[in-house]
Amino acid sequence: MNFELKALDLNALANDKSDAIIVLLADGFKPGKDKISALIAQVSKSGDLPVKAGKTLAVYHPALLGTPRLVLASIGDGSAKQTRNGINAAMASVKAVEAKKVTVAFTHAANAAALRAVVQGVADNTYSYTTTKSKGEPRKLTHVQIASSNAAALNSVFDRAVAIVTGVEVAKEWANRPANHATPTLLGKAAQALAKHPKISCQVLGPKEVAKLGMGSFMAVAQGSDEPLRFIVLQYNGAAKAKAPTVLVGKGITFDSGGISIKPAGEMDEMKFDMSGAASVLGVFATLAELKPAINVVGLIPSCENLINGRAVKPGDVVTSMSGQTIEILNTDAEGRLVLCDALTYAERFKPAAVIDIATLTGACVVALGNVRSGMFCADDAMAKALIAAGETAQDLCWQLPLDDEYADGLKTHFADVANVAGRAGGAISAAKFLQRFTEKKYPWAHLDIAGTAWKSGAAKGATGRPVGLLVEFLTK
């Protein structure tokens, strides 16, 4: 899908021959003397279009206009949230007629947040997964023109928004694929494909190389599956070598049965989404390839399946992590932290400016925050504030949760340096405390628990592509 930003007013828009024109009406709009304004004035006078954000009115073959379909959509105060409500409602009308070219026009000078909301809203509403369908229906919409009187001032914001959409859709694609179509080996190949872009390189390590590194915790999770593990190292080099990189670590469990601590059968199919952290790292690199910012970024993806065979790790087993710390595995379904901890130790070799791990880590985070905000843990105040601000800018929200030392008390054990789980209470926090012990005094670190935000269930089942937007805004601030 191609996006284009143009400086068009409503008078010029009257001659636009797109399959559909969506006009976004903010509160306080004062109609001019053009044809579209005259129609809006008539609609407003009749009361046919409520001013509440998300309300729409579709007009078929409007008189004297070049388009066969005009959709008027209220966007309230013009904020990102209300603009998103308006574009979501309007796109429902456009999808119904399978429009191929659409123009979305602001009646006022758009702000950056509203422009992002339109780009993201159009993309989300037209996304179509086809990879494993015999007769998949690809996205019908091929061209989107966004019109605003101040288009020239918004070019950089627009370019970033479009690039983020590219990354979000890469993340969606890989997270949506069934586990037999998104194995660790295939994730490695996806990363290698990204390395065809300038400034990106990729190394994929297999079981022998990982064993040589001493990643005993990661290998323990992988040993229950016949699929070989992969440790993926992506590097984007857009700045001088001396500039310390930011490292992103994405959990890449391509299917999570829970291991011997097996999950309930209901909705276990959704455990294909357990590699959404890894998918988001792939998505970020796809966006970096588009934007080409002057920064250095490393992406680490420890990827394997968590299954059950005769060699599968057992509750009570003790393994040795790459850091040398021993771990008692009390619950094999708390496997994400076991693969992440070795990747966090590996990250030290890059002498990073900061490290962020991204993981569908705990059901406890879903209970705490639902599907609106990702859980964010960070002991560095400046880094935490930057992540929150990046989430606000990207409309990809997170919420900071505590890291008090007392939350780690439940991880104490008589049989190893640390247990991999504590009690049920505060489970998202104790999981973060487990990870923190592999990062302390080594580099600034943050943990994003995306268990509630990485995918949707029910009728809208599918990956969201979060938190690609948040990460890109943080990296390129």
Provide DSSP, 28-46: T----SSHHHHHHHHHHHH
- Per the domain annotation, does 215 fall within a domain? yes
Pull the structure tokens for residue 231: 């440790």
Catalytic site includes residue 160: no
CATH of the domain at 58: 3.40.220.10
More confident of the two residues 108 and 324 = 324
Q: Residue 439 maps to which CATH number?
A: 3.40.630.10
- Name which of 219, 275, 229, 270 is nearest 250 in CA terms: 275
Residue of 272, 337, 433, 466 marked catalytic: 337
Is 160 part of any domain?
Answer: no
Examine the domain organization and report whether 319 and 186 are in the same domain: yes
Residues 145 and 200 in one domain: no
Q: How far is CA 21 from CA 102, 139, 235, 238, in A?
A: 6, 18, 42, 39
21 and 139 together in one domain? yes
Q: Which of 126, 151, 176 is the last residue of a domain?
A: 151
- 292 assigned to active site: no
Task: Verify that 91 and 185 share a domain, yes or no.
Answer: no
Same domain, 190 and 106: no
Contact (Cβ atoms closer than 8 angstroms) between residue 400 and residue 384: yes
Residues 318 and 397 in one domain: yes
Is position 156 within any domain?
no
Q: Examine the domain organization and report whether 334 and 457 are in the same domain.
A: yes
Which residues constitute the domain of residue 72? 2-151
Please indicate, yes or no, whether residues 319 and 418 belong to a single structural domain of this protein.
yes
- The answer as to whether 157 is a domain residue is no
pTM comes to 0.97
The values of phi and psi at residue 155, to 5°, are -60, -45
Say whether both 451 and 345 belong to one domain. yes
Which residue type sits at 28?
Answer: G
Report if residue 29 sits inside a domain: yes
What pLDDT, in 10s, does the model give residues 192-234?
A: 999 999 999 999 999 999 999 999 999 999 999 999 999 999 9
**Contacts of 371 by beta carbon, 8 Å cutoff, 6+ apart:** 452, 453, 456
> Quick check: is 347 in a domain?
yes
Domain boundary among 151, 185, 214: 151
* Cα distance between residue 268 and residue 7, in whole Å: 49
Mean pLDDT check: name the lowest of 36-50, 299-313, 421-435. 36-50
pLDDT at site 92: 92
Overall domain count for the chain: 2
Q: Are 222 and 205 in contact (CB under 8 A)?
A: no
Out of 48-62, 361-375, 417-431, pick the least confident. Answer: 48-62
Query: What does the pLDDT look like over 299-354, one tens digit per residue?
Result: 999 999 999 999 999 999 999 999 999 999 999 999 999 999 999 999 999 999 99
Q: Looking at 81, 95, 199, 263, which residue is catalytic?
A: 263
Q: How confident is the model at residue 113 (pLDDT cuts 50, 70, 90)?
A: very high
The mean pLDDT of 107-125, rounded to a whole number, is 96
Please give the pLDDT value at position 62: 92
Confidence band for 64, pLDDT divided at 50, 70 and 90? confident
467 preceded by cis ω (within 30°)? yes
The sheet with strand 326-329 has its strands ordered as: 317-320, 326-329, 418-419
pLDDT, residue 308, reads 98
**Domain assignment present for 56:** yes
Same-domain check for residues 252 and 391: yes
Residue type, 268: M
| Cβ(448)–Cβ(467) below 8 Å | yes
Please check whether residues 132 and 50 belong to one and the same domain. yes
Residues 6+ apart with CB under 8 A from 124: none
Q: Which residues contact 365 (CB under 8 A, 6 or more apart)?
A: 374, 375, 427, 428, 449, 451, 452
Structure tokens, 458: 């029910």
Model confidence over 122-173: pLDDT tens digits? 999 999 999 999 998 899 999 999 999 999 999 999 999 999 999 999 999 9
Helix (H, G, I), strand (E, B) or coil at 210: helix
Per-residue confidence band for 392, with pLDDT thresholds at 50, 70 and 90: very high
Is the domain of 242 the same as that of 304? Answer: yes
Tell which of 111, 128, 151 closes a domain: 151
DSSP codes of every residue in 56-80: EEEEES-TT-SSSEEEEEE-TT--H
158 located within any domain = no
% helix, strand, coil for the chain, step of 5: 40, 20, 40
* Percent of the chain residues past pLDDT 90, beyond the cut: 93
